[in-house]
Structure 1
Amino acid sequence: MKKVLLSLLLGALPGLLCEARAQTEPPAPVGYTEQVALEGAGQSRLYSRALDWAQNKFTYQPKAALNAQPAAATIRLNGTGIVKTVDAKGHDQPLTVLFTFSFQATDNGYTYRVDSFQVIPDPRIPSQTVGIDEYRTELQADRNNDKTHNDRRVTAQANSLASEAAMSFRSYMNSQPQEESVGLAGEN
């Protein structure tokens, strides 16, 4: 029985070592990018739909720097969100993050991205921002990070924010109104 138990433990050891190594790797970049192919959708129609979302449905307030270029069919705007770190006692410490949403339409689809995350580490100085990668490096160097895991916490929350914004946009783009009416003309 001891040999069987020892064999199982030794067999599981490589799996545990791989998992430990995976957590020491640098985190993936924060953001979301997608390219959507829509044959014959029309650049101006896609641009108009995306602009409507950016102006009326973008919920990451306060939004800033809406830059719409109809000739190039591009849109760029900045949004705001919140991520939370915890202090050594486990109390939430909210941080404001800024990010960029950008959109580019073509005749056969569009590309959009949610990226360029910046953290405002001190709410008393909102003009001072730090790139999220630099901020995660600072968190990793913190002596309490083994207890709080703030570097992973911020990464996960920022990726969730990027995913939510992308999902909201994609859902809106997928719910495009029908151009033709259903039923026979002239019927009520």
Structure 2
Amino acid sequence: MKKVVLGFLFGGLLALTAPAHGQSEPVASIESIEQVSNDNTTATLYLRALDWAENHFTKLPKTAFKPDASAHEVRVTGTSKVTPVTVSGKEQPMVVYFDFIFKTTSQGYDYRVTNFKIVTTTGKTVETKSLEEYITQLTADHNDPKTHNARRVTAQANSLASEVALSFRSYMNNTPVTEEGTVGLPATEH
């Protein structure tokens, strides 16, 4: 009798925990957004962001580069890759586009790495679709429990968003020194 009861309890426990392993929830938007307080002028912040986008943005090729000096805004579309795998474990690199958007605010600036799109090919047709839609399709694929592509692609895209955000924030935090000889010296009166 004990074995029968334990069997039912164990079976019930398995039945309750099985749905927790699936990804039935909607896919969260993949992006990195930050608002930063800064005392510099909007023109100074805009010029720093412009310099980063022109000279230090590493996700090439970059397209749709749109600086707007009057709005103190910089937009650029970057390119990278994600690599889902086949059931046999072979990597299938796929191109991903994303937008980097910088805008000054009255207290500093905000920026975002957002609008991820994946390039898909069907026969001779090349198109883009939102990465969230692609991940939803991966989740529905019957091979996803073997390949874990939905989690793999989500993690790679989140890592990419974090990498770009970290690069930009690091660059913005390292303000150039205008007069090298005055660093650490007391101010002099004229």
TM-score (norm 2): 0.82
Partner of 1:129: 128
Find the residue that maps to 1:96 and give its secondary structure. strand
Q: Does 1:115 align with 2:124?
A: no
- Cα separation, partners in 2 of 1:25 and 1:173, compared to 1, 3 Å: same
- Cα separation, partners in 2 of 1:22 and 1:165, compared to 1, 3 Å: same
Q: Once the 2 structures are TM-superposed, how far is the Cα of residue 17 of structure 1 from its aligned partner?
A: 3.5
Q: Once the 2 structures are TM-superposed, how far is the Cα of residue 178 of structure 1 from its aligned partner?
A: 2.6
Aligned residues of 1:120 and 1:126 also touching (Cα < 8 A): no
Q: Once the 2 structures are TM-superposed, how far is the Cα of residue 109 of structure 1 from its aligned partner?
A: 0.5
Partner letter of residue 60 of structure 1?
K
Q: Give distance in 1, aligned partners of 2:47 and 2:145.
A: 48
- Cα separation, partners in 2 of 1:126 and 1:63, compared to 1, 3 Å: farther
Aligned residues of 2:73 and 2:104 also touching (Cα < 8 A): yes
Q: In the TM superposition, what are the counterparts of 1:1-188 in structure 2 within 5 Å?
A: 17=17, 20=20, 23-38=23-38, 40-122=39-121, 127-180=126-179, 181-182=182-183, 183=185
CA deviation vs aligned residue, 1:45-96 (integer Å, no higher than 9, x gap): 0000000000000000000011000011000000001100000101111010
Moved over 3 A (4+): 16-19, 21-24, 123-127
Q: Give distance in 2, aligned partners of 1:126 and 1:174.
A: 43
Q: Give distance in 2, aligned partners of 1:174 and 1:118.
A: 29
Q: Once the 2 structures are TM-superposed, how far is the Cα of residue 26 of structure 1 from its aligned partner?
A: 2.6
Partner letter of residue 20 of structure 1?
A
TM-score (norm 1): 0.83
Find the residue that maps to 2:52 and give its secondary structure. helix
Find the residue that maps to 1:128 and give its secondary structure. strand
- Cα separation, partners in 2 of 1:18 and 1:89, compared to 1, 3 Å: closer
Q: Give distance in 1, aligned partners of 2:130 and 2:111.
A: 20
Aligned residues of 2:72 and 2:103 also touching (Cα < 8 A): yes
Runs (5+) with no aligned partner, structure 1: none
Q: Once the 2 structures are TM-superposed, how far is the Cα of residue 122 of structure 1 from its aligned partner?
A: 2.3
How large is the Cα RMSD of the aligned pairs?
2.8
Aligned residues of 1:42 and 1:107 also touching (Cα < 8 A): no
Find the residue that maps to 2:45 and give its secondary structure. helix
Runs (5+) with no aligned partner, structure 2: none
